Amino acid sequence: MNLLNAKNLSHTFEYELFSDVNLQINEKESIAIIGMSGSGKSTLLHILSTLLEPHSGKVEIFNENIYEMKQKKLGGLKRDSLGLVFQSHYLFKGFSAYENLEVAAILSSKTIDDNLLKQLNIQECIQQKVTELSGGQQQRISIARVLTKKPRIIFADEPTGNLDKQTANNVMKLFFEYCENENAGMVLVTHDETLARMCDRVYKLENKVLKEI
């Protein structure tokens, strides 16, 4: 089943970042987007994940144009079905790591999966305040928080940027298993071509064009 369908996307800030970008994601499928710093990868991910309306083109999620949806429906879609793991992690700073996961679980009526904590190796630091955690621990907590919601599409921007190779590989494995078990899809933005190659398809954003490589 198709989860996301992007058609003829283009976007311009000071200069045109890209045009005529087309992309599809199906259940159990992961795709990677690579490209030079400043090429527009994060911008494209924002457009795909409801955060930024493109200058032209459309994004359909579950066959519905997300930029024509009513606010309330869009809010529900984001809360229940989309998981965003971005370059800066938006954890609640005054709370413990565990409380951050509890909030996600309550908002989406799901439960916290102990197995997930184990796989991300965060059982040890789960009771600590977010501000006391290392960058890599925060990154793994925010991944746990997103997966606790059980989203159907994961949008991840350098989700393993703060992690050592071994831990990064474990996290990628977890994402792939998640997609397989939950019929989910993933869009991964990364600078790491080795990680990118673990996905089903790899695209490069270059010279304003997104092409499969």
Ligand X SMILES: Nc1ncnc2c1ncn2[C@@H]1O[C@H](COP(=O)(O)OP(=O)(O)OP(=O)(O)O)[C@@H](O)[C@H]1O
Residues forming contacts to ligand X in the complex (CB under 6 A) are 13, 17, 35, 37-43
Please report, for residues 38, 66, 149, the alpha-carbon distance to residue 90 in angstroms, rounded to integers and kept in the order given: 22, 23, 15
Handedness of CA 141, 144, 149, 151 (dihedral sign): positive
Please report, for residues 2, 32, 190, the alpha-carbon distance to residue 11 in angstroms, rounded to integers and kept in the order given.
24, 20, 20
* Binding partner of 119, given ligand X, Mg ion, none, CB within 5-8 angstroms per partner class: none
**CB of 53 vs ligand X, minimal distance in Å:** 12
Report in angstroms how near the CB of residue 41 gets to ligand X at its nearest.
Answer: 4
CA-to-CA dists, residue 180 to 100, 102, 183, 184, angstroms: 25, 24, 6, 7
CB of 15 to Mg ion, least distance (A): 16
Round to the nearest angstrom and report the end-to-end CA distance of the chain. 23
- For Mg ion, the closer CB: 133 or 205: 205
Which partner from the list Mg ion, ligand X, none does 82 bind, CB cut-off 5 to 8 Å by kind? none
Residue facing Mg ion at closest CB distance: 42
Please report how close the Cβ of residue 51 comes to Mg ion at its closest, in angstroms: 13
CB of 86 to ligand X, least distance (A): 10
Closer to ligand X by Cβ: residue 41 or 152 = 41
**38 vs 94 by CB, closer to Mg ion:** 38
Residue 52 has phi, psi (to 5 degrees) of -145, 120
Displacement of CA 63 from its chain's centroid (Å): 19
| Residues lying near Mg ion in the complex (CB under 5 A) | 42
Q: Which is nearer to Mg ion, 42 or 50 (CB)?
A: 42
Closest CA to 211 of 63, 55, 57, 31: 31
Name the phi and psi angles at 137, rounded to 5. -65, -45
Q: Which is nearer to ligand X, 35 or 83 (CB)?
A: 35
Q: Which does 35 bind (CB under 5 to 8 A by kind): ligand X, Mg ion, none?
A: ligand X
